[in-house]
Chain A
Amino acid sequence: MVINLRKLPDKKYIMPGNAACPGCPETMGLRYVKMALGDNVVLVIPAGCSSVIQGISPYSGINAPILNIVFAAAASAATGMKAAFEAMGKDDVHVVVWAGDGGTGDIGFQALSGAAERDEDIIYICVDNEAYMNTGIQRSSLTPYGAWTTTTWKGKKEHKKNIPMILISHGVKYVATASVGYPTDFIEKLQRASKIKGFRYIHLLAPCPVGWRFDPALTAKVAQLAVETGLFPLYEYINGEFKLSPIAKRYKDPSKRKPIIEYLKLQGRYRHLLDKPEEIKKIEEYIENTWKLIETLEESFAPGKDRGKKIFDAL
């Protein structure tokens, strides 16, 4: 699928007067969601930066119908909306959850897992800025190892929880990772997901200049570096088939990856470990392990091979 940006709707989806910080990855992502899916969409947004970004009612900085909902209940509220649209014969409405990493991997995880297990016909997007930004940069289970937050002043001690893999093991139809640094890849994935029925999950990496401590002009660049250093592989898992996304394929080869230090040194949240080689090594090991897992999945879930699918079907 080739995406021609000029052919996508050029409607204004992010409105002037919205309350996002400069360089905000969430407004970037939201714009792509609407560009990809068009207007037959309702958004469900739990507590997080995106609830604030909308600005002050009765106006909204996001040109889309939105049900704001309590922090832990996004997947459930979306489930109910979809059930209602179906009951009223409006089966084609896309109900899209737009939730932060905290709303996804921590407090909202139970509802997410429930909706995934029930294979609810919704699209769930986790906009992952790797911390609770709305409350002022506290660690979440998706904050990466070593990162400073206001509850991990000396750096987080644990690695990032791997939500997309957990979703794959729920046996859902569609799981993908994406980065706001690659809009066309993200839009392509959204469009592909929109044609599938059942539970679809997209994990969108969203570097936040405020929480990660980088120059707001660099959001897209940091989002690309995460992929180019091999730290955040882009892939798609569709109905038992796993494949690396075209942009990410070359980073299978470690020699093609940019050194992780290029990514780390742009971000103030890693400043305290730049002069600690043993800490950087831990992050490098994490990258190695991530790719080992990717290779295993590529092999087990290679298109046409059906091996992985059989594994899940047998479970």
Chain B
Amino acid sequence: MPLMSLTGNYAVAHAVRLARVKVISAYPITPQTTIVEKLSAMVENGELDAKMVRVESEHSALATVFGAASAGARAFTATSSHGLLYMHEVVWWAAGSRIPLVMAVVTRAIGPPWNIHVDHQDIFDQRDTGWIIGIAQENQEVLDMTLQAFKLSEDPRVYLPVMVGLDGFILSHTRAPVDVPEQELVDEWLPPRRQPYVISPESNYVMGNIAPDEVHFLMRYSMHEAMEAAKTVIKEIDKEYGEVFGRSYGGLIECHNCDDADYIIVITGSWSGDAKVASDMLRENGYKVGVARIRYIRPWPKEELEELGSRAKGIIVFDRAISMGGYGPLYSDVAGTLYSNGGKTSLVGVIAGLAGVDVGAETFKETITSIIHKIEENGFFFEPQLWLLPKDYSSREKMMEVAKRWL
């Protein structure tokens, strides 16, 4: 299998090519743009036999691929940030229709002020829509997760659309060696398109007209059930992918140093790599710290986290997004899960890295060390919102003073 030097965005494009997608539609937005550019080139030079629809907006991009998928074609789109928010209505519609579909989301901060750098505000905004949402850590995983997304979405136990998140610039525009599978192997592994219904003259099927409220309620329930089923399917696919292509990631979460860990870092996305480095450094200093990297924020890896929570002294969650006036979104889900444990585990939610502010391994290490000290000193420590403010602004007062100048 050829090893290529690929940016995360090109890794997405190659996965789309390998899945033999039939209809693609997307609208440019940084840092997603190079996905559409690459796919356009692939279509134009005959590498990929697909229709490329160059629409006038993201709302239309998702509606176009949704229309195509409803008619029976494997379809794909990609976007970021404002584009994803602009699509939001169609995001719901596509999931509620139970039509298999794949979308890459290159995560990026939301304005104002305009900002093209990474955070997770955009993708977490989609949590409740009924899409399966995966977030990759590095470029190889971007390719593998995108390819797997087609199989997952089209599995009759699931029939839900899938988003694949990759961090803006950190992955999208940074090259790394990526093992690109052979087409023949992918063809053998990925079954032909399956979907619950098609809309065509032959089917005479009607999708989306009014249903009784009770039926609508049950449809939400069945989507939730499909999410539960997806947990099994994600693990199955991860395993068989490993057998065929030599790479498995561990299902809904990937654990690093978790086995004997006293403290578990819960995190998602590319900065998980820095957290892992920090955990290795902390181990050298005698702290038993592991990292549970969330690979899928939907369906939520409840069982895995319950298990980790039941044996750890403390859980430290890093959020790259904030529900302003509430909590970090990962934190909320973790807290909900840990309640099953009677609230005995120490729990801290850290909000950091918003708007692309970099958080390196050293910073992770320092932050985690100071939290561990608090837990060990008091036997228990609970702090839902620890703001890791950018360097040089490290007091709230100073931060507010600066922020006010922009208002």
Contact = CB atoms under 8 A, between A and B. Distances in A.
B68 A80 contact: yes
Given A84-B23, A84-B67, A84-B73, A114 B57 contact: yes
Interface in B228-262: none
A296 interface: no
B147 interface: no
A22 B191 CA distance: 49
Contact of B51 (A58, A78, A83): A83
A70 B93 CA distance: 7
Nearest to B60: A76
B59 A111 contact: yes
Contact of A118 (B23, B54, B65, B66): B54
Nearest to A19: B210
Contacts of A117: 56
Interface centre among A44, A69, A75 (most CB of B within 10 A): A69
B210 A85 contact: no
Nearest to B23: A83
B52 to A, nearest CB: 9
Interface in A64-117: 64-70, 72-73, 75-81, 83-88, 90, 93, 110-111, 113-114, 117
A63 interface: yes
B32 to A, nearest CB: 18
Interface centre among B59, B66, B90, B201 (most CB of A within 10 A): B201
A40 interface: yes
Given A66-B199, A80-B25, A44 B209 contact: no
A54 interface: yes
B207 A67 contact: yes
Contacts of B205: 65
B209 A80 contact: no
A117 B64 CA distance: 15
A80 B63 contact: yes
A58 B218 CA distance: 14
A66 B207 contact: yes
B111 interface: no
A113 B23 contact: no
Interface in A20-74: 39-42, 44, 51-52, 54-58, 60, 62-70, 72-73
A194 to B, nearest CB: 14
B253 to A, nearest CB: 34
A88 B60 contact: no
Contacts of A73: 59-60, 63, 90
**Chain A interface mostly:** mixed
A39 B201 CA distance: 6
Nearest to A50: B209
A84 B69 contact: yes
Interface string B99-143: 000000000000000000000000000000000000000000000
A282 to B, nearest CB: 35
Interface string B199-222: 111011111111110010000000
Contact of B209 (A41, A51, A76, A79): A51
Contact of B68 (A54, A60, A83, A113): A83
Contact of B199 (A56, A76, A81): A81
Nearest to A71: B89
Interface centre among A57, A80, A118 (most CB of B within 10 A): A80
B73 A69 contact: no
Nearest to A75: B60
Interface centre among A83, A86, A88, A90 (most CB of B within 10 A): A83
A73 B66 CA distance: 10
B186 interface: no
B176 interface: no
Contacts of A67: 67, 70, 199, 207-208
Nearest to B210: A56
B50 interface: yes
Contact of A114 (B23, B56, B67): B56
A66 B90 contact: no
B59 A84 contact: no
A160 B25 CA distance: 33
Nearest to B49: A87
Interface centre among B51, B59, B60, B66 (most CB of A within 10 A): B60
B212 to A, nearest CB: 6
B56 A84 contact: no
Contact of A87 (B23, B54, B67): B23
Contact of A69 (B51, B63, B211): B63
A85 B204 CA distance: 15
A79 B207 contact: no
A40 B60 contact: no
B66 A80 contact: yes
Contacts of A65: 199-201, 203-206
21 contacts: A52-B210, A54-B206, A57-B210, A63-B204, A65-B201, A65-B203, A65-B206, A67-B70, A68-B207, A68-B208, A70-B89, A76-B67, A79-B25, A80-B23, A80-B66, A83-B23, A83-B67, A87-B22, A87-B51, A88-B72, A118-B53
Interface of A: 39-42, 44, 51-52, 54-58, 60, 62-70, 72-73, 75-81, 83-88, 90, 93, 110-111, 113-114, 117-118
Given A56-B212, A80-B66, 14 more contacts: A56-B210, A63-B204, A65-B204, A67-B199, A73-B59, A73-B60, A79-B25, A80-B23, A80-B64, A80-B69, A81-B199, A83-B51, A84-B67, A87-B23
